[in-house]
Amino acid sequence: MSSAVRRDSKWWGWGESSHEAAIDPGSLSLLRAELGDLQPWGRPGSIDEVKLSPPEPLPGTIAEAVGVANVLSGHEDRVRHAAGRGYIDLARLRSGRLASAPDAVVLPAGAAQLAEVLAICAREGVAVVPYGGGTSVVGGVEPLRGDHGRLVSLDLARMRSVTLDDTSLTATLGAGLRGPEAEAALRRQGVTVGHFPQSFEYATIGGFAATRSAGQASSGYGRFDELVTSLRMIAPAGELKTLETPHTAAGPSLRELAIGSEGVLGVIPEVTVRVRPTPERERYEAWMAESWEAGCEVVRSLAQDWTLPDVIRLSDEQETRFSLALSGPSGFAGALFKRYLALRGREGGCLVVIGVEGEREVVARRRSLAARQLRAGGAAYLGQSAGRAWKRGRYEGPYLRDALMDAGAMAETLETSHTWSRLGELYGGVQGAIRGALEAQGTPGIVLCHLSHAYPDGASLYYTFVARRLPGEELEQWQSVKAAACEAIVAAGGTITHHHAVGRDHVPYMKAEVGELGLGLLRAVKQRLDPAGILNPGKLIG
Amino acid sequence: MSSAVRRDSKWWGWGESSHEAAIDPGSLSLLRAELGDLQPWGRPGSIDEVKLSPPEPLPGTIAEAVGVANVLSGHEDRVRHAAGRGYIDLARLRSGRLASAPDAVVLPAGAAQLAEVLAICAREGVAVVPYGGGTSVVGGVEPLRGDHGRLVSLDLARMRSVTLDDTSLTATLGAGLRGPEAEAALRRQGVTVGHFPQSFEYATIGGFAATRSAGQASSGYGRFDELVTSLRMIAPAGELKTLETPHTAAGPSLRELAIGSEGVLGVIPEVTVRVRPTPERERYEAWMAESWEAGCEVVRSLAQDWTLPDVIRLSDEQETRFSLALSGPSGFAGALFKRYLALRGREGGCLVVIGVEGEREVVARRRSLAARQLRAGGAAYLGQSAGRAWKRGRYEGPYLRDALMDAGAMAETLETSHTWSRLGELYGGVQGAIRGALEAQGTPGIVLCHLSHAYPDGASLYYTFVARRLPGEELEQWQSVKAAACEAIVAAGGTITHHHAVGRDHVPYMKAEVGELGLGLLRAVKQRLDPAGILNPGKLIG
């Protein structure tokens, strides 16, 4: 059996089996007070109990192409490749009922085998779902077959090479490298990509490129699309390879056509990205803004003065209150911290976390520029410990979601972005839509928001909502809230996604996003690259 | 007659009639010593003497769409829209013989009229060459008809609106605005785009977007593609409008498909770009690096430490020597300056110009960071006067070319880019190819190069070559040098163009640039947007 396939995370939830986020009794009481009587949600039993149809037999030529050991049709691997990590994926896994699963998991060793597998699948009419870390929260790895009777999950776990150009400070990275693996290999050579999304521990390099990922430090290091200098993309119709030069004016950017293509236009075997020297020092700290509006104004001034720290996050009042009330993943020492805030008259404010990384002198200079503007904008300094606690807990969100689900809650996130002049309208519109949809179902909930990616012209908003689960009606309950939020985003002119991508869940909103002609263009490109329509049916463009 | 059409520049050369660059007798002797005996090249007489075939009659519906006053088929407007501003364009205009000219110049008032004109032309089979400033140096406005019997030049001069969002610091600009006009309107409101290519005085906003223009201050303000936050593009098949948000992860970037589309995929009526507060202060200064290699290393260190000034230019030894020898547009006070250099033992070095703009304090800080690294890299400070002289002369290059042509020289520029690790190979390869091709024709020339756009992973190289013109064989002489240079670029893996675009001249190299499949994708997009193939035939993808 292929030694590359990964089975090292919870099959039904997030992360490694030995690691869990616990909700203490006090926090649980608080949740119940807000959400009503929660009915605990049991975890599923053994993976063997998940019901699947028997796999369809696949063309033998696939096993000839990649080696028989690299075509896995066993129960565990099929289940593990059948779902992403959105709320609905997790709800289905908990229920032990999956709508569908791949007939096999196929692991090509490199670009040549990958091309061969795609050629076979195109010829034989086998649908292909490219698979990196399986961390999509928008249904990106849902095993939809389209018009095809068979489906394989194309797992890139064997494509994990790392090649550094230490003169140009670029690294060519295999698509199957998980975040920590790529970082470890690069840090041994003194450099970092600096890309740390919340999914970092399990998501892969190929996935970052295919979904336009944005990391928590994107204000400093750049979003992943900004880090990619060139890439390869393999489609049934052939290979696209962009030139490895820092810039070109030779027509439309084909690199930007491959980035964000979500496995629908082709499969990305490797990307070349900018790297930086590993930071000598880092400084994370917390501030308290007087209000959401005042906080937004400070972030705007930092962005428009080009003095943004590498990380900047502004929580709204609700998120701030909950971060402080729950002694959860962010590790704020609740009571003590609240007393500290009360002393400063800042109980009602909005938490700001900033982080600066780099050479000692650069960190000091950039931190001092940011601090000056935060102070000028009325924010109060809360010290480094809360900032460090945020950094320690930066990958904990998905673990906490499992714990919330254990407790009987629906917990989901979604995100958008807009220009500064329309951010307030978007903020209120989406918040109101989520609240309203939850209340309409008799499950009023907690709606939290933070701003986490700032630009001179605008920012992203990231919403978390938690409500009492309606047992047996999880899908309908979630769909109604998701639809209301998406419609509010569209109505305010925001983007349907700032960094979660389109996947299956956002397909209905792509017409509002790119227009009828935009969709037509993407379909024309798809038709040229994948005339048989085998690549990730039902995603991105439907 | 339409009051919008522009007739305010030399029809046969660059810029306004009252402004000329003179070459003094000393410089002329120096040129003759290098290039051999130059045979002066007379300027053409009256524009009326240019021979054109009579215009083909156009469908009357075009005049109905835009108003009869906005369809111009007079001799002068046809000649003025028949050529760009590359060496070959200018050589043809001097000779009074044009290969072809548009049958008429059509000026739509806005996006609706533009869409109507395209619909008529698609229906009637009339080729359309979108026209902004007419400053293309790669044949971008050459009136090629493709399979069509008639051709119109679609001049965007009536589309010049300016709308500022002073909260988001973005401006929506009509495609037909020339650089100075857009800047003046914005500066009245306290902001600037910061986009200053050498063609700034005549090139237009739409052209900047359609050709992926990069300005001289692109290290600081960003290239034009980086400044565009959203745009509209109108094609015969309909309109593409990208969402005005700071970022989206909703699939491939259609904005990046429209940018660089060179009028082949559609016509851009307006773009929204980031603006910044008008700089309070600016500081331009010159340094002398010990050598080309040492200079490249300093620029690399600045780029990789993210401490690049807004403008940075490094001339190679030949360009440095000529800049100092010719008391031309850059205004160096030759002899005095040379004595100054001799005192410092730097006669053989490479000139570096840097410029920093912004708030007083920011300029001081960034200048001091750059100066520290320049010194550490062995560069010697030459003071501000030479930097200021460069800035004063930043738009003078094209005027000087007319003077060189008057004197009997062929003068042309071309540019490319590559990663730092392969920049040396590219530099030598292209230089050798140009020299070799000139010598092979018995016209050994001057080949100058500078690095002017730097990135953490690489930089652009910009070549200027000047040689004795072969009268009557201008096209063949130029073609042979151009082909040699392009082949050397391809052989070194560089891009065929960093910011001049593809136009007509670089079409043969697009296969090397984007591959067969990449070309196929662009053609599939073209087919979807412009099934009748009326838009700018023969450009970009051939």
Confidence bin at A339 (pLDDT 50/70/90) = low
**For chain A, first and last CA: distance in Å?**
34
Q: Which contiguous run of DSSP H or E holds residue A89?
A: helix A87-95
Contact criterion met (CB below 8 Å) for A142 and A84: yes
Beta bridge partners of A455: A458
User: Can you give the pLDDT at residue B121?
Assistant: 98
Structure tokens at B428: 């030598």
- Contact (CB<8Å) A247/B418: no
Structure tokens at A38: 């929660």
Distance from CA of A214 to the nearest CA of B (A): 9
Alpha carbon distance B187, A227 (integer Å): 33
Nearest CA in chain A to B242: A514
User: Can you give the pLDDT at residue A65?
Assistant: 98
Structure tokens at B417: 């880019």
Q: Is A521 on the interface with B (CB under 8 A)?
A: yes
Q: Is A417 on the interface with B (CB under 8 A)?
A: yes
Q: Is A418 on the interface with B (CB under 8 A)?
A: yes
Going through A47-94 in order, the beta strands assigned E by DSSP cover 71-72
Residue B328 pLDDT more than 50? no
pLDDT digits (tens, 9 = 90+) for A471-505: 999 999 999 999 999 999 999 999 999 999 999 99
Percentage of chain B modeled with pLDDT above 90: 91
Residue B347 pLDDT more than 90? no
Contact criterion met (CB below 8 Å) for A76 and A105: no
pLDDT digits (tens, 9 = 90+) for B117-139: 999 999 999 999 999 999 999 99
- Contact (CB<8Å) B502/A251: yes
Contact criterion met (CB below 8 Å) for B505 and B482: yes
Distance from CA of A369 to the nearest CA of B (A): 10
Contact criterion met (CB below 8 Å) for B449 and B463: yes
Q: Which contiguous run of DSSP H or E holds residue A235?
A: strand A228-235
Alpha helices, H only, B393-509: 397-407, 420-440, 474-491
Contact criterion met (CB below 8 Å) for B465 and B411: yes
User: Can you give the pLDDT at residue B330?
Assistant: 45
Average pLDDT, chain B: 95
Alpha helices, H only, B236-310: 255-258, 292-304
CA atoms within 13 A on the CB side of B283: 16
Going through A32-109 in order, the beta strands assigned E by DSSP cover 71-72, 104-106
Helix axes A420-440, A292-304, angle to 10 degrees: 140
Confidence bin at A324 (pLDDT 50/70/90) = confident
Structure tokens at A55: 């796999």
Confidence bin at B254 (pLDDT 50/70/90) = very high
Contacts of A416 in chain B (CB under 8 A): 245
Distance from CA of B342 to the nearest CA of A (A): 33
Q: Is B361 on the interface with A (CB under 8 A)?
A: no
Compute how many other C-beta atoms are within 10 angstroms of the C-beta atom of residue A514: 25
Instruction: Pick the closest to residue A507 from B250, B281, B341 (CA basis).
Output: B250
Structure tokens at B292: 């080309």
User: Can you give the pLDDT at residue B515?
Assistant: 98
Beta bridge partners of A468: A409
Alpha carbon distance A363, A261 (integer Å): 36
Positive or negative CA dihedral for B283, B288, B291, B294?
negative
Q: What is the DSSP string of A389-429?
A: HHHHTTT-HHHHHHHHHHHTEEEEEEEEEEEHHHHHHHHHH
Say what the pTM is.
0.96
Residue A37 pLDDT more than 60? yes
Q: Is A357 on the interface with B (CB under 8 A)?
A: no
What mean pLDDT do residues B214-240 have? 97
Nearest CA in chain A to B164: A421
Compute how many other C-beta atoms are within 10 angstroms of the C-beta atom of residue B377: 20
Nearest CB to A417 within list B241, B245, B261: B245
Contact criterion met (CB below 8 Å) for B446 and B323: no
Distance from CA of A61 to the nearest CA of B (A): 25
Confidence bin at B323 (pLDDT 50/70/90) = confident
Positive or negative CA dihedral for B313, B317, B318, B323?
positive
User: Can you give the pLDDT at residue B349?
Assistant: 93
| Burial profile A338-349: b = 16 or more Cβ within 10 angstroms, e = fewer | eeebeeeebeeb
User: Can you give the pLDDT at residue A27?
Assistant: 87
Label each residue of A300-359 as H, E or C: HHHHHCCCCCCEEEEECHHHHHHHHHCCCCCCCCHHHHHHHHHHCCCCCCEEEEEEEEEC
CA atoms within 13 A on the CB side of B306: 16
Distances (CA, A) of B518 to A250, B446, B473, B536: 11, 36, 35, 19
Contacts of B265 in chain A (CB under 8 A): 252
Q: In what order do the strands lie in the sheet with B162-165?
A: B162-165, B170-174, B270-274, B228-235, B238-241
- Give the largest CA-CA distance in chain A: 71
Nearest CA in chain B to A420: B168
Q: Token match 């309606």: residue?
A: A470
Q: Is A501 on the interface with B (CB under 8 A)?
A: yes
The three-class DSSP label of residue A227 is helix
What mean pLDDT do residues B292-300 have? 98
Positive or negative CA dihedral for A371, A374, A380, A383?
negative
Alpha helices, H only, B111-237: 111-124, 179-187, 205-210, 218-221, 224-227
Q: Is A540 on the interface with B (CB under 8 A)?
A: yes
Contact criterion met (CB below 8 Å) for A240 and B518: yes
Running DSSP on this structure, what letter comes out for residue A204? Answer: B
Confidence bin at B24 (pLDDT 50/70/90) = confident
Distances (CA, A) of A151 to A7, A55, A57, A130, B217: 20, 9, 10, 11, 51
Distances (CA, A) of A411 to A233, A328, B96: 35, 15, 74
- Contact (CB<8Å) B510/A262: no
Contact criterion met (CB below 8 Å) for B486 and B509: yes
Q: Which contiguous run of DSSP H or E holds residue B324?
A: helix B317-325
Distance from CA of A75 to the nearest CA of B (A): 32
Nearest CB to A495 within list B248, B261, B506: B248
pLDDT digits (tens, 9 = 90+) for B484-518: 999 999 999 999 999 999 999 999 999 999 999 99
Contact criterion met (CB below 8 Å) for B143 and B100: yes
- Contact (CB<8Å) A502/B420: no
Compute how many other C-beta atoms are within 10 angstroms of the C-beta atom of residue B49: 8
**CB contact set of A68 (below 8 Å; sequence gap of 6+):** none
Structure tokens at B210: 């359609």
Q: Which of A169, A219, A223, A248 to mutate to test the interface with B (most CBs of B within 10 A)?
A: A248
**CB contact set of A291 (below 8 Å; sequence gap of 6+):** A317, A348, A349, A350
Distance from CA of B237 to the nearest CA of A (A): 8
Contact criterion met (CB below 8 Å) for B466 and B385: no
B positions 450-479 inside 8 Å of A (CB): 453, 455-460
Q: Interior CA angle at A233 toward A227 and A239, to 5°?
A: 140
Alpha carbon distance B518, B537 (integer Å): 18
pLDDT digits (tens, 9 = 90+) for A132-169: 999 999 999 999 999 999 999 999 999 999 999 999 99
* Most confidently modeled range among A337-341, A466-470, B340-344: A466-470
Alpha carbon distance A340, B100 (integer Å): 78
A positions 116-145 inside 8 Å of B (CB): none
Nearest CB to B249 within list A241, A246, A501: A501
- Look up the ipTM and state it: 0.96
Nearest CA in chain B to A297: B167
pLDDT digits (tens, 9 = 90+) for A357-366: 999 999 999 9
What mean pLDDT do residues A338-354 have? 76
pLDDT digits (tens, 9 = 90+) for A395-447: 999 999 999 999 999 999 999 999 999 999 999 999 999 999 999 999 999 99
Distance from CA of B297 to the nearest CA of A (A): 10
Percentage of chain A modeled with pLDDT above 90: 91
